[in-house]
Structure 1
Amino acid sequence: MIFSSFRFQIFLRVAFIGLLTMAFIWLIESNKYVSATIIFSVGIFSLFSLFHYVENTNRKLTRFIEAIKYDDFIIGFDADNKVGKSFRQLNHSMKEVLDAFRHTRKENEENLQFLDTLVKNVQVGILSYDDTGEVGLINHMAKKLLSLDNLAELNELSGTDPELYILLKSIPTGGNTLYRKNELVHLAIHTSRLRIRGRELTLVSLQNIRSELQQNELEAWQNLTKVLRHEIMNSVTPISSLVSTLKDMFEEETHADNEEQMSKETISDINEALQAIENRSHALKKFVHAYRDFTQIPKPALKPVKLATLLARIENLYLAETKASQVTLATELEDDEMTIIADDELLEMVLINLVKNAIEVLIDQPDAKVTVRGYMSDQLRPIIEVEDNGPGIIPEAIDNIFIPFYTTKPTGSGIGLSLSRQIIHMHGGTLGVESEVGKKTVFKIEL
């Protein structure tokens, strides 16, 4: 309909000009020069009108194509009717096309903004660089995992973490590997290659799997302790019963009438030996019960807990002990109204264990201080830290202190820290430690 109308308008103008030309020739031949002049003027005007009609149409189409080319979808056509009523439908169609482009661009911008926000806030580090090592993308989590404020060139890593730099340069496309940055960061690294706008890019994902590794470690220890508990109890129970029976029988057989058959010293030695066996059996049973405690922690009953109230209970609990040992116990809260989701009884058990350990290492140390602080991380996750200014933990022991039954204390069971980490894992969090020998130790709970 549009093109038919356009052709019709052109045909009318050309036909009219043709008639004017014929009339002009006839008037010239008839020596009617005045009329011929008028007809000539009308013809010139008609030619100009035809040119203007076609030029306006071309200009409108050019504006439409340029609007698409340069993504300028603000331009409108409804109000532009200079080409005549026959092009109103063309105006409307052009507007619909531009509206469709405008809607598509808006959707693309929204999707781009969504992806940008997702990349920035996802809990996986994302890093991309080209063959020259120029970094095109690095999100917030990647900066955090790499302990960097920014990274423009990949070779900048060689100064801060040369081992990781060599690993990234050597890992094959599509490869996966693990890298332990420190006690708190265990990275799972995956690389892939892609081509964007003619550029070959390497895309690297970095994920801290420390929590998963710790969970697997705990499950392995639990399975082991279940087996040990079963086997030890099967052996210890009859031994303990047998020793008790033997002791009773021996006491009956060694009454006054039979004492001539056996010297008092021998009787005493046997009694002591049997007593030692019995004591050791009870100790072994107690040891097995420690295994049971490690493997049978109740499921946390999560509820809102005001951290200030919880820390006040810890302070009151250790008020007498800190006074006697001359250790200062202080609490620091970023917000007095800070509330966490946790099982307050289980979390209190963890904090008691951490504070108790801290106080014990500070005994007889001048200016001894234990600080329990609570705050929110950059990712809005609750953090609780227990810090002491004691002798610190040697690097060789840091890797082992969370292993069940490992202890550096003469009277320690080695269960406390393992239980504490397990409880925090059951809350969906992590428990880690950082220490500077001779300066301080910080246990960090992230929920």
Structure 2
Amino acid sequence: MWRKAAAASLVAAPIALAVATGVDPALGIPEQYGIYRQHPDAVQAHSILLHWAWVLFVPGLLGLLAPIRQRGAVLARIAWIAVIVGLATFSALMANDFVLLALEQTLPDAQVQAVDEKFLAMSVTVAGWQWPGLIGWGLSLILTPIAAARGRVIDWWTAGAALLGMALYLAFAISPVPLCLLGPIVMIGAYGAAAWRLVRPRPAPAEPEPDTFGAFRRGFGQFALYAAPLSFAIGMATVPDWSGDLADSVAKPVQTQVSALFLHFAWILFVPAVLAVAARANRFTQVAAGITVLALINFSGLMVGDSADLAARQVLDAATADRVSETLGGYAAFTFGWAMPGMLLSLLGLIAVAVGAAVSRVTRWWTAALVVAGIAAFLGLGLGPIGVTGPLLLLAGFGLIARDLRRLPAPAAPAATPAPAPA
């Protein structure tokens, strides 16, 4: 099931990238403010498709790395972390297009520029979001095909085509059609071939390699079961506006950014956490985990909105900043294509994965109950010191699941595939 889901993602992601690139209203136009205001529908279509392209690349590339065992494992470890931490963070940066559109539809260009420059000057946001996102994006798309070819998951020509597609995209992404489509089209072919290889793998050798990369993934997943709720707790504890007064966020800009960053990485770290649980559980849990992974990536991206809202409130008066926020919330593509499914399915998904683990006897029912209680506390208790209760309950629940996973025997190596009998 994992292979088919990853293969579908590898096919869908570059297609979404091609469409997103083709409908970009800023193609071939020098960078300037005011373009988004003239093409609001095209901007929304471009931004949501581009966001989803990078979101879908995450499970696709993770699936491409998964069959690697020992050969190519070093590159695979770097690529795997880059995909989860970097590429997922990069997808969140597409939210800035929606923010810019809301600014341009609300303010004159001079104020739009002032807010945008304030946002780009936020040191914590730049170091915590933009740098990891851009670096992780590059490492993901470069190292994953190389590691997969090194691990004999795909052919070297497929890896070369994927790298060529990335290079063409990087060179012509903002050029007019059809130049801008060269990279995505090559990537469609390359990752389509990689997807085919995933669902039609080579026969397993009689003596499989030691699964060093699998051991790394399992270990990191168990670490993430602790780290994700802990980062969540830190993010909630450092929220400056406990009373709900946004003026507190403006008064403590660094703390606001730090809180948003910890919350972002909490949801990102839940990705390897739920994958680690699902790998040892039943099919329901695996399906739930797959949906939850996509939702978590979307949910994590919403945290950059805290920094964007902070930038607006540092430049604009409260009433004008509220109008920008209301305009942003009125975009159906953003609300229904990103925000709502991200939040709703993330929280429900964490519950479903924990319950599925209990049904599969990976963990006990009272452990799953702690996760349910943690989500309920997060939703019901609000901000302030008491708001840390939910994350701490999640830490207890998922920490116990991590303990139970460590007690399970290592997965068996894949059985050797016999050679076909001669005709």
TM-score (normalised: structure 2): 0.17
User: Relative to total residues, which structure has the larger helix share, 1 or 2?
Assistant: 2
TM-score (normalised: structure 1): 0.17
Q: Which has the larger radius of gyration?
A: 1
